[in-house]
Amino acid sequence: MDSAASQALDAGDKLMIDQAVASTAGHPGALLGILETVQAANAHKFLPMEALRYIAEKTAIPPARIFSAASFYALFNLTPQGDNLICVCRGTACHTRGSRDLLQKLCLDLGVSGDELDETLKADKLALTTRDRRFTIRTVACFGQCALAPVVEVNHRILSHVTERGLQREVKGLLKGGSDAAH
Protein backbone atom coordinates (compact mmCIF):
# COMPACT_ATOMS: atom_id res chain seq x y z
CA MET A 1 0.00 0.00 0.00
CA ASP A 2 1.43 3.36 -1.05
CA SER A 3 1.62 6.19 1.46
CA ALA A 4 0.09 9.61 0.79
CA ALA A 5 3.57 11.04 0.12
CA SER A 6 4.31 8.27 -2.35
CA GLN A 7 0.99 8.78 -4.15
CA ALA A 8 1.59 12.54 -4.47
CA LEU A 9 4.88 12.06 -6.37
CA ASP A 10 5.21 10.84 -9.93
CA ALA A 11 7.31 7.78 -10.79
CA GLY A 12 10.22 9.90 -12.00
CA ASP A 13 10.40 11.86 -8.75
CA LYS A 14 10.26 8.67 -6.69
CA LEU A 15 12.99 7.05 -8.78
CA MET A 16 15.23 10.11 -8.44
CA ILE A 17 14.76 10.16 -4.65
CA ASP A 18 15.30 6.40 -4.41
CA GLN A 19 18.58 6.77 -6.34
CA ALA A 20 19.71 9.70 -4.17
CA VAL A 21 18.97 7.72 -1.01
CA ALA A 22 20.78 4.63 -2.34
CA SER A 23 23.85 6.55 -3.48
CA THR A 24 24.34 8.30 -0.13
CA ALA A 25 23.41 5.45 2.23
CA GLY A 26 25.82 5.23 5.12
CA HIS A 27 27.73 8.39 4.20
CA PRO A 28 28.13 11.28 6.65
CA GLY A 29 25.84 14.15 5.65
CA ALA A 30 23.69 11.82 3.57
CA LEU A 31 20.50 13.76 4.30
CA LEU A 32 21.95 17.03 3.06
CA GLY A 33 23.12 15.34 -0.13
CA ILE A 34 19.67 13.87 -0.71
CA LEU A 35 17.98 17.22 -0.14
CA GLU A 36 20.43 18.95 -2.48
CA THR A 37 19.83 16.38 -5.23
CA VAL A 38 16.04 16.59 -4.91
CA GLN A 39 16.01 20.39 -4.96
CA ALA A 40 18.35 20.56 -7.96
CA ALA A 41 16.08 18.22 -9.90
CA ASN A 42 12.96 20.29 -9.19
CA ALA A 43 11.99 22.68 -12.00
CA HIS A 44 11.35 25.48 -9.49
CA LYS A 45 14.38 24.65 -7.29
CA PHE A 46 12.52 23.86 -4.10
CA LEU A 47 11.70 20.92 -1.84
CA PRO A 48 7.99 20.05 -1.99
CA MET A 49 6.51 18.68 1.24
CA GLU A 50 5.55 15.44 -0.53
CA ALA A 51 9.21 14.90 -1.42
CA LEU A 52 10.29 15.55 2.19
CA ARG A 53 7.73 13.01 3.43
CA TYR A 54 8.86 10.45 0.86
CA ILE A 55 12.50 10.99 1.87
CA ALA A 56 11.47 10.36 5.49
CA GLU A 57 9.83 7.09 4.49
CA LYS A 58 12.81 5.93 2.45
CA THR A 59 15.47 6.88 5.00
CA ALA A 60 13.55 6.13 8.22
CA ILE A 61 14.55 9.61 9.40
CA PRO A 62 11.73 11.32 11.32
CA PRO A 63 9.91 13.88 9.13
CA ALA A 64 10.50 16.60 11.73
CA ARG A 65 14.27 16.12 11.46
CA ILE A 66 14.14 16.32 7.67
CA PHE A 67 12.00 19.47 7.76
CA SER A 68 14.31 20.93 10.40
CA ALA A 69 17.34 20.43 8.16
CA ALA A 70 15.54 21.75 5.08
CA SER A 71 14.36 24.87 6.89
CA PHE A 72 17.63 25.52 8.75
CA TYR A 73 20.03 25.71 5.82
CA ALA A 74 19.69 28.81 3.62
CA LEU A 75 20.52 26.86 0.46
CA PHE A 76 17.26 24.90 0.68
CA ASN A 77 13.95 26.35 -0.46
CA LEU A 78 10.54 25.23 0.76
CA THR A 79 8.62 27.34 -1.76
CA PRO A 80 8.94 27.54 -5.56
CA GLN A 81 11.72 29.84 -6.72
CA GLY A 82 11.77 32.19 -9.67
CA ASP A 83 13.66 31.61 -12.88
CA ASN A 84 16.12 34.34 -11.85
CA LEU A 85 17.62 34.90 -8.41
CA ILE A 86 18.58 38.36 -7.20
CA CYS A 87 20.17 38.55 -3.77
CA VAL A 88 20.81 41.90 -2.08
CA CYS A 89 23.35 42.20 0.74
CA ARG A 90 21.96 43.72 3.95
CA GLY A 91 25.33 43.91 5.75
CA THR A 92 26.47 47.11 7.43
CA ALA A 93 28.78 48.28 4.64
CA CYS A 94 26.18 47.60 1.96
CA HIS A 95 23.41 49.13 4.06
CA THR A 96 25.35 52.36 4.59
CA ARG A 97 26.02 52.49 0.84
CA GLY A 98 22.37 52.16 -0.16
CA SER A 99 21.43 48.49 -0.35
CA ARG A 100 18.07 49.15 1.34
CA ASP A 101 17.18 51.64 -1.41
CA LEU A 102 18.35 49.13 -4.04
CA LEU A 103 16.11 46.48 -2.50
CA GLN A 104 13.14 48.83 -2.34
CA LYS A 105 13.57 49.95 -5.97
CA LEU A 106 14.04 46.35 -7.12
CA CYS A 107 10.82 45.28 -5.39
CA LEU A 108 8.92 48.19 -6.92
CA ASP A 109 10.33 47.49 -10.39
CA LEU A 110 9.28 43.84 -10.14
CA GLY A 111 5.76 44.62 -8.95
CA VAL A 112 6.04 44.07 -5.21
CA SER A 113 4.33 47.02 -3.54
CA GLY A 114 2.10 48.25 -0.73
CA ASP A 115 1.88 46.31 2.53
CA GLU A 116 3.87 43.42 1.06
CA LEU A 117 6.78 45.78 0.30
CA ASP A 118 6.63 47.39 3.75
CA GLU A 119 6.81 43.99 5.45
CA THR A 120 9.58 42.92 3.09
CA LEU A 121 11.79 45.85 3.97
CA LYS A 122 11.28 45.27 7.70
CA ALA A 123 12.22 41.59 7.50
CA ASP A 124 15.69 40.52 8.54
CA LYS A 125 15.76 37.73 6.00
CA LEU A 126 13.81 37.82 2.78
CA ALA A 127 12.88 35.33 0.12
CA LEU A 128 10.15 36.64 -2.14
CA THR A 129 9.13 35.28 -5.53
CA THR A 130 7.19 37.39 -8.00
CA ARG A 131 3.74 36.19 -9.01
CA ASP A 132 4.92 35.29 -12.51
CA ARG A 133 7.81 33.26 -11.00
CA ARG A 134 10.36 35.05 -13.14
CA PHE A 135 12.28 36.42 -10.14
CA THR A 136 13.09 35.50 -6.58
CA ILE A 137 14.44 38.34 -4.47
CA ARG A 138 16.50 37.38 -1.43
CA THR A 139 18.60 39.14 1.12
CA VAL A 140 21.75 37.92 2.79
CA ALA A 141 23.32 39.18 6.01
CA CYS A 142 26.72 39.64 4.35
CA PHE A 143 28.53 38.41 1.25
CA GLY A 144 31.90 39.24 2.80
CA GLN A 145 32.64 41.66 -0.04
CA CYS A 146 32.39 44.85 2.06
CA ALA A 147 34.99 46.80 0.07
CA LEU A 148 32.76 46.35 -3.01
CA ALA A 149 29.54 47.58 -1.34
CA PRO A 150 26.78 47.66 -2.19
CA VAL A 151 26.89 44.10 -3.47
CA VAL A 152 24.12 42.27 -5.31
CA GLU A 153 24.21 38.71 -6.65
CA VAL A 154 22.29 38.08 -9.88
CA ASN A 155 21.95 34.43 -10.90
CA HIS A 156 25.08 33.50 -8.90
CA ARG A 157 27.14 36.35 -10.35
CA ILE A 158 28.43 38.93 -7.85
CA LEU A 159 28.05 42.58 -8.86
CA SER A 160 29.93 45.30 -7.01
CA HIS A 161 29.33 49.01 -6.39
CA VAL A 162 25.77 48.48 -7.64
CA THR A 163 23.64 51.50 -8.44
CA GLU A 164 19.88 51.65 -8.96
CA ARG A 165 20.42 52.28 -12.67
CA GLY A 166 22.87 49.36 -12.95
CA LEU A 167 20.47 47.01 -11.19
CA GLN A 168 17.64 48.18 -13.45
CA ARG A 169 19.81 47.32 -16.49
CA GLU A 170 20.43 43.84 -15.06
CA VAL A 171 16.72 43.26 -14.55
CA LYS A 172 15.88 44.62 -18.01
CA GLY A 173 18.42 42.24 -19.53
CA LEU A 174 16.87 39.31 -17.67
CA LEU A 175 13.38 40.36 -18.76
CA LYS A 176 14.58 40.36 -22.37
CA GLY A 177 16.01 36.90 -21.81
CA GLY A 178 19.67 37.86 -21.75
CA SER A 179 22.06 36.46 -19.19
CA ASP A 180 24.85 38.95 -19.71
CA ALA A 181 23.15 42.24 -18.94
CA ALA A 182 25.46 45.20 -18.42
CA HIS A 183 26.35 46.13 -14.87
Residue-level pLDDT at 181: 43
Work out whether the CA dihedral 70, 71, 73, 78 comes out positive or negative. positive
Residue-level pLDDT at 25: 85
For residue 85, what are the β-bridge partners?
136
Residue-level pLDDT at 2: 59
Q: Does domain 84-175 match CATH 3.40.30.10? A: yes
Nearest Cα residue to 129 out of 30, 14, 18, 46: 46
Residues in Cβ contact with 94 at an 8 Å cutoff, skipping those fewer than 6 apart: 88, 142, 143, 146, 149, 150, 151
Q: What percent of the chain has pLDDT over 90?
A: 67
| Mean pLDDT of the region 80-106 | 93
Question: Which one-letter DSSP state was computed for residue 74?
Answer: T
Q: Is the pTM of this model over 0.75?
A: no
pLDDT tops 60 at residue 182: no
